[in-house]
């Protein structure tokens, strides 16, 4: 785990309490749900900390027990926490429903949450100004106008301190329509140095997918999407391609990496884990192939167990990451 030094990677967003139902989604007296935490940006911060790079999470929590749980858990995972406590709004909640031990649906209870009320006033200028990488996502942009203002201000503060701006599109159809999301996400991607996206998210940024018949080979199609996103302004574009692997484009060069084979249990959070490990290696000036390898490994670890981030705890296990990504 990272030493508690000045955070090099700083994330901004909402973290929620996470309840997991027993199998078959049946809640009965005496068979209570599991309780943990989850949130795209804090998942990234946890993964970066596990790789060995000091990280921080900035957000807004309710002045309640769930907010205290989130703060304690993140601190316990080596993540610096800078979270305002809101006396008038609760900490958000998500519920994972399971069947046969596998999550089948995630429900969110975040309307009016403290996290949705995130604003520029909640930001820590010293943390953002001292960061090497500031990481943001499209989820936060979807929460409210004040949250979008917070992201824009985070970019300004990070840039002023010389940080690279990282942006994961993370489009959520349950939060806003493609028509509402596309221009906001495109503006954020244009302002970023590093952009992460899936194929559908890349298409959303680009205003429509190219004709699949013209690009029957998936890698070639992904490369075209990456080059078109890079034309918006980012120096580095990383496409997370599911079972195919991942592709990164930087300085005109394309790098590819296959997935790490595992038996998937819970895919939620795997993309965030990929990003956290990738950014940690990037902060340490590791070559792009090592960043992709670390991301693939960390994503696989998270996907192989229940929970949004708990698989990151296996990073330093005896049968841990391959030699090319080990610290």
> Domain spans of the chain?
9-314
| CA–CA separation, 58 and 56 (whole Å) | 7
| CA–CA separation, 169 and 323 (whole Å) | 31
Does CATH number 3.30.930.10 belong to domain 9-314? no
Find where tokens 């708990």 sit: 310
Catalytic residue among 124, 168, 272, 308: 272
211 vs 160: which has the higher pLDDT? 160
- Measured between its terminal Cα atoms, the distance across the chain in Å is 11
Q: What is the DSSP letter of 160?
A: H
Q: What is the dihedral of CA 216, 193, 60, 276, to 10 degrees?
A: 60
Q: What is the DSSP letter of 121?
A: G
Strand partners, 107: 95
| CA–CA separation, 266 and 304 (whole Å) | 6
For the ranges 23-32, 240-249, 296-305, the lowest mean pLDDT is seen at: 23-32
| CA–CA separation, 275 and 265 (whole Å) | 19
For the ranges 92-106, 180-194, 228-242, 311-325, the lowest mean pLDDT is seen at: 311-325
Catalytic site includes residue 272: yes
Residue 275 in this model has a pLDDT that exceeds 50: yes
pTM: 0.92
| CA–CA separation, 49 and 251 (whole Å) | 27
Pairing between strand 9-12 and 16-23? unpaired
For the ranges 59-73, 177-191, 212-226, the lowest mean pLDDT is seen at: 212-226
Q: pLDDT tens for residues 55-98?
A: 999 999 999 999 999 999 999 999 999 999 999 999 999 998 87
């Amino acid at each position: 785990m990272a030493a508690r030094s000045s955070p090099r990677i700083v994330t901004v967003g909402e973290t929620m309490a996470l309840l997991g139902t027993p199998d078959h989604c049946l809640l009965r007296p005496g068979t209570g749900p599991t309780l943990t935490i989850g949130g795209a940006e804090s998942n990234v911060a946890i993964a970066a900390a596990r790789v060995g790079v000091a990280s921080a999470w900035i957000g807004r929590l309710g002045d309640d027990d769930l907010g205290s749980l989130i703060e304690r858990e993140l601190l316990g995972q080596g993540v610096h926490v800078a979270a305002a406590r809101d006396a008038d709004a609760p900490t958000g909640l998500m519920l994972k429903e399971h069947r046969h031990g596998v999550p089948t649906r995630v429900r969110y209870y975040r309307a009016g949450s403290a996290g949705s009320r995130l604003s520029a006033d909640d930001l820590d200028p010293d943390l953002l100004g001292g960061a090497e990488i500031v990481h943001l996502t499209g989820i936060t942009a979807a929460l409210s106008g004040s949250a979008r203002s917070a992201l824009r201000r985070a970019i300004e503060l990070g840039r002023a301190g010389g940080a690279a701006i990282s942006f994961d599109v993370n489009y959520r159809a349950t939060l806003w329509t493609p028509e509402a999301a596309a221009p906001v996400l495109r503006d954020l991607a244009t302002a970023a140095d590093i952009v992460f996206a899936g194929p559908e998210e890349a298409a959303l940024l680009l205003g429509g997918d190219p004709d699949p018949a013209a690009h029957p080979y998936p890698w070639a199609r992904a490369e075209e999407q990456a080059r078109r996103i890079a034309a918006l302004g980012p120096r580095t574009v990383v496409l997370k391609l599911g079972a195919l692997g991942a592709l990164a484009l930087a300085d005109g060069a394309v790098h590819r990496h296959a997935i790490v084979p595992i038996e998937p249990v819970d895919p939620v959070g795997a993309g965030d884990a990929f990003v956290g490990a990738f950014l940690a290696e990037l902060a340490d000036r590791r070559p792009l192939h090592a960043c992709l390898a670390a991301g693939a490994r960390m994503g696989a670890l998270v996907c192989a167990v229940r929970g949004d981030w708990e698989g990151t705890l296996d990073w330093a296990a005896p049968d841990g990451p391959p030699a090319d990504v080990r610290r």
